[in-house]
Structure 1
């Protein structure tokens, strides 16, 4: 077995263990929460204790903790999420559209900022000490260190409430009734609701990509291979292109990690804009102690992060032999 394959097997095994640990923690934490999914309903008189016990039996919540745990692991690993306790609907039917809304918001934002910020970072790194470098670093660092909900609220007040240029909440107008994916996600009404949360997400992601690209080009600019290309008569633009290409691996790796975290949504962003995504759904589900919905949502989030970490580590190991000496590729 080659070094890279050995590395891949080891990392896959570690990822499997991490997945098991993550879903076990979810199970334990939910059972440690005070009350039950029916406490509020019983307190308001909407549900009797006898009815609550009947529903708990239906969902297997009256069984021993170990029986619940075994069934829980089996169901999650086979993606059988069951029914929501509070909504009486299949979890997939609730979770699927919310996850799609999150991905439609954040994946384009992530791709846009990865491209634009990386290009700006490469230019800034090549022109070290210039006004472009100093300005871009100060601005993006400020945006990255500012909590996303602060940026969201500020832009919402300015462009939503003060100037009335964009809607202030939701993914569509209350009177809109789109039919199909095209009308839902490509209508003018959707785009009006989309532009502000999309802009906040782009601003939030921009700092990391810019700094990674800038630092990569700064390191490459003083390298011997670039001096050789300069001696061969390559123009400055051609040198920058080669320096940028050689600094792409950390950027692509970070992009993969961020892509996994997209499945979590930007919870505070979704809450501020009332965006019907998976992050906002999770907040509501936790408040209602809807176990099946919480378990499914957190499992998908954790699995996405772990899988993308595995892919990023594997790519880094394969394309950069200096990481551990194994190297599998170029």
Structure 2
């Protein structure tokens, strides 16, 4: 077995263990919380004791904890998420549209930021010490260090309440009744609601990509291969492209990591804008102690993050063999 294959096997084992830990933590945490999903119904007096026991048996909550845990793991392995306690319908039918809403918002924002901020970072790194470099670093660092909900609230105050240009919350108007996929995500009404949360997400992601690409170009600017290209008569722009291309690995790795984290959404962003994404749905499900929805949402989020971390590790090891060899030359 080659060094790369051993590295891959090790990373796959770690990924499996992390997934087990993540889903186990959420399982036991939910069941150790005070009360139960049926506390409100019991207190209202709408259900008799017999009805409560029947419902708990239906969801397997009358079983010993260890048995519930084994059933839970078996269901996750087969992607059977069960039925929502509060909404009485399949969990996947609840989460699928919410996940789509999150991805529709955040993937374009991430791609846009990755492209634009990386190019700006390359230019800033090539012109080290310039006013543009100093200004871009200060601006992006400030935006990245500001909590996303603060940025979102400020944007809403300015563009929704003061200027009245864009709606402050939601994915569409209350009276809107979309009839299909195109009408849902490409209508003027949707785009009108989309601009503010998309803009905040772009601002949130911009700092990391700009600083990563800037640092990479600064590191490569004085390297021997660029001196060789300069001696061959390459123009300033061509040298910049060469430096940028050779400093892309950290940016690509970070993009893969961020792509995995997108599946959990920017929870605070979705809450502030009342965007019906998976992050906001998770918050609602936790408040209602809707175990099946919470468990499925956390499983999807954890799996996406762990898989993309694995992809980033493997990609880095593939392009840089010293990683898989433990740093040996």
TM-score exceeds 0.5: yes
How many pairs align?
A: 327
Partner of 1:306: 306
Partner of 2:145: 145
Partner of 1:47: 47
8 Å CA contact retained: 1:317, 1:326? no
Normalising to structure 2: TM-score of the pair?
0.98
8 Å CA contact retained: 1:106, 1:198? yes
Q: Distance between the aligned counterparts of 2:48 and 2:216, measured in 1?
A: 63
Match of 1:201, SS?
helix
Q: Distance between the aligned counterparts of 2:250 and 2:159, measured in 1?
A: 35
Partner of 1:104: 104
Shift of 1:232: 1.2
8 Å CA contact retained: 1:253, 1:312? yes
Partner of 2:294: 294
Partner of 2:236: 236
Match of 2:264, SS?
coil
Correspondence 1:65 to 2:69: no
Segment of structure 1 superposing worse, 8-17 or 194-203: 8-17
Partner of 1:34: 34
Deviations 1:176-197 (A, max 9, x none): 0011110000000000000000
Shift of 1:326: 7.6
Segment of structure 1 superposing worse, 42-51 or 13-22: 42-51
Deviations 1:215-247 (A, max 9, x none): 000000011111111111111111100000001
Deviations 1:247-273 (A, max 9, x none): 100000000000000000001100010
- Superposition CA RMSD, Å: 1.1
Match of 2:140, SS?
helix
Q: Distance between the aligned counterparts of 2:319 and 2:128, measured in 1?
A: 28
Partner of 1:260: 260
Partner of 1:134: 134
Q: Distance between the aligned counterparts of 1:203 and 1:225, measured in 2?
A: 34
Shift of 1:50: 3.1
Q: Distance between the aligned counterparts of 1:217 and 1:157, measured in 2?
A: 38
Deviations 1:24-82 (A, max 9, x none): 11111111111000112222334344322211110000001111010000001110000
8 Å CA contact retained: 2:7, 2:324? no
Normalising to structure 1: TM-score of the pair?
0.97
Q: Distance between the aligned counterparts of 1:189 and 1:36, measured in 2?
A: 40
Q: Distance between the aligned counterparts of 2:175 and 2:48, measured in 1?
A: 37
8 Å CA contact retained: 2:3, 2:324? no
8 Å CA contact retained: 1:3, 1:326? no
Partner of 2:203: 203
Match of 2:177, SS?
coil
Partner of 2:88: 88
Match of 2:86, SS?
coil
Q: Distance between the aligned counterparts of 1:151 and 1:48, measured in 2?
A: 48
Q: Distance between the aligned counterparts of 2:261 and 2:144, measured in 1?
A: 16
Relative to 1, partners in 2 of residues 1:161 and 1:49: Cα closer, same or farther, differing over 3 Å?
farther
Partner of 1:189: 189
Unaligned runs of at least 5 residues, structure 2: none
Q: Distance between the aligned counterparts of 1:276 and 1:267, measured in 2?
A: 10
Q: Distance between the aligned counterparts of 2:47 and 2:170, measured in 1?
A: 31
Q: Distance between the aligned counterparts of 1:43 and 1:130, measured in 2?
A: 66
Partner of 2:77: 77
Partner of 1:251: 251
Partner of 2:174: 174
Unaligned runs of at least 5 residues, structure 1: none
